[in-house]
Amino acid sequence: MATPTIDELPTVIVTSSAAFQGVRQPRAIVKVGAFGAGVAVSGWRSWTVSNNSFYEADTFHVSFAASTLPSSNDVNWFFSQKEAFVEILAGFPTHPDSPDPSELQSLIYGRIDDIEYDPVEALIIVTGRDLTAVFIDNKIAAEYFNKFSSQVAQALVDLHPGMTGQITDTVNKSPKVGTYYDTDQLLLVPSRSEWDVLTYLARKEAFVVYVQGTTLYFGPNPTGTGNIYDIVWQPPTADHGSPISNVIELSFSRSMTVAKGVTVTARSASFTTGKPVVQSYPSNPKAIQAGKASPFGDTVNYYVNMSANHSPVEVEAFAKAQYDAIVSHEMKLKATLPGDNLLTIQTPIEVSGTGTDLDQTYYPRLVTREMSLEDGYQMTVEAQNVSPNATPEE
C-alpha cells in the first residue's frame, strides 16, 4: 500500500496515556519583588509562561491564594507596589519536598503589568511581560544616525541599569543607521519606541532580537543550533488499541493557499534612473499538474515594496526572504505534552512515526508552559515549516 501524502490526510488528533507513564515530580518557585531582589512567595495556585517567537515579549500569568500568602506579601503588600518583578523557576529537583532553586530553571523574568484581586475566590492574579517591556515602553530620546546598528543596540541597553547585551558587532560591516533611515525615508523620532528601533535594525541586519532574563540578544538567528526535540507517534496495533506517543494531544494542519503556490514580487524605486527595480521569486514558479489547474489562478501573488536605490540582486534577495517567510506557514503543528525544560523557541521539533509527509521538521513559534496544583506541569507548542515537497523552480 502506498504511503499517503499530506493532501490525502485530514487533521490528525492523537490522545495517549503513554505520556503519563513514569513518576514525575515537577516543582516551581515564584519570586516577587523589586528588580534583582525578588523573594520566593508561597501560596501560588497556578502559573502560565508563554514564550513567543523573536521580536515579541514573552508573558506570564500567576494566581495566588490570598489566604495562604505570607503576611509579608499579603494582598495589601501587592497593591502597595508601584513596580514589581516576577521570576518563575521550574524543574525536577532531587528533593521535591524542599526544592533547591539551583536545580530549577528560570522560565521568565519580567515586570508586572497588572494586579487583580478576586475577593470571592480569594485570589491575587498578576500578569506581565518579560524585560522586552523595558524597551517597548520607552521612547527613544537621542539620535543615532552616526552609529552602527550594534552600537545603537548597546546604547539602548546601557540606558537601563541591570540589563546586559549579547550583541553581534556590525561596526564597519554594515552601513550606519542614518543610511537605513535615509533610504527608507523614515525619521528616528521620539515617538518611536526603543523596541521599534531594535526590531527595525535587526531586520536590516538579517538578525533577530529578543530578551532572555536580563540580557538583550541582537544577532544571527540561533534556531537550529542546539539539540532537536523529538515527537514520536506510533499508530494503534493489535497489541495496543490506542496510539502510543510522548504527547498528550497532537494535531497537524496545512495552508492550502500556500500549498497552491506563491510568488513574491519586490519593487525598489530608483532616484538615479527614475525606473523602479522589480524582481520576483521564484522567477518561474512551480506549475500545477496537468488537468488540475485552478480557475482562480495557479499561484498566489504577493507584491512588496522596499527602500529605494537597491540593486537587482538585493531586490531579488528581499523577494526571496519574503517568500521564505510566507511559505514557512504552510505546515503547522500543535501539541500538548508533559511539561519539561528542554523545548525552547529555538529548538527544532522532529516528528516521526506517522508514515506520511507530516514526518518532518517544525520550528516553534509559541511555547506555553502551565503548572497548577490540580493539573500538574504541561506545555503546549505551536510550530510550523514549509512542506518538504515545496521546491519552487527558479
Place of cell 523545548: 343
Q: How many Å apart are CA 124 and CA 67, to the nearest integer?
A: 10
* pLDDT > 50? residue 9: no
Q: Which residue has the higher pLDDT, 235 or 121?
A: 121
Band (pLDDT 50/70/90 cuts) for residue 387 is: confident
Q: What is the pLDDT of residue 312?
A: 86
Band (pLDDT 50/70/90 cuts) for residue 286 is: low
In tens, the pLDDT along 133-167 reads: 999 999 987 777 788 889 999 999 999 999 999 99
Mean pLDDT of 340-347: 92
In tens, the pLDDT along 109-137 reads: 999 999 999 999 999 999 999 999 999 99
Residue 95 has phi, psi (to 5 degrees) of -120, 90
Q: What is the pLDDT of residue 290?
A: 43
Q: Over pLDDT 70: what percentage of the chain?
A: 85
Q: What is the pLDDT of residue 117?
A: 97
* Residue (of 106, 109, 130, 127) closest to 54 by Cα position: 130
At 128 the three-state DSSP class reads strand
Give yes or no for a contact between 77 and 67, defined as CB atoms under 8 angstroms apart. no
Q: Which residue has the higher pLDDT, 149 or 108?
A: 108
Q: What is the pLDDT of residue 236?
A: 84
Mean pLDDT of 259-275: 82
pTM of this prediction? 0.82
Q: Which residue has the higher pLDDT, 308 or 337?
A: 337
In tens, the pLDDT along 30-75 reads: 999 999 999 999 999 999 999 998 889 999 999 999 999 999 999 9
Count of CB atoms situated within 10 Å of the CB of 36: 11
Q: How many Å apart are CA 59 and CA 36, to the nearest integer?
A: 18
> 309: left (phi > 0), else alpha (psi -120 to 50), else beta?
left
Q: How many Å apart are CA 218 and CA 215, to the nearest integer?
A: 10
Q: What is the pLDDT of residue 69?
A: 96
* pLDDT > 50? residue 239: yes
**The three grid cell numbers given for residue 113, joined into one nine-digit string:** 503589568
On the 0-12 / 13-18 / 19+ scale of CB atoms within 10 A, 290 is exposed
Residues 6+ apart with CB under 8 A from 22: none
**Lowest-pLDDT range of 15-19, 167-171, 290-294:** 15-19
**Lowest-pLDDT range of 85-99, 135-149, 274-288:** 274-288
Mean pLDDT of 365-372: 96
Count of CB atoms situated within 10 Å of the CB of 29: 20
Residues 6+ apart with CB under 8 A from 263: 280, 281, 282, 285, 299, 300, 301, 302, 323
**Lowest-pLDDT range of 67-76, 83-92, 212-221, 249-258:** 249-258
Q: What is the pLDDT of residue 293?
A: 53
* pLDDT > 80? residue 3: no
**Using DSSP, how many helices (H) and how many strands (E) does the chain show?**
7, 21
Q: How many Å apart are CA 361 and CA 385, to the nearest integer?
A: 7
Q: What is the pLDDT of residue 15?
A: 43
Q: What is the pLDDT of residue 22?
A: 52
Residue ranges of the domains in the chain? Answer: 27-130, 134-212, 256-327
Q: What is the pLDDT of residue 182?
A: 55
In tens, the pLDDT along 174-224 reads: 777 766 665 554 545 557 899 999 998 888 888 999 999 999 999 998 887
Band (pLDDT 50/70/90 cuts) for residue 309 is: confident
Q: Which residue has the higher pLDDT, 284 or 4?
A: 284
Q: What is the pLDDT of residue 296?
A: 54
Q: What is the pLDDT of residue 153?
A: 95
Mean pLDDT of 358-385: 94
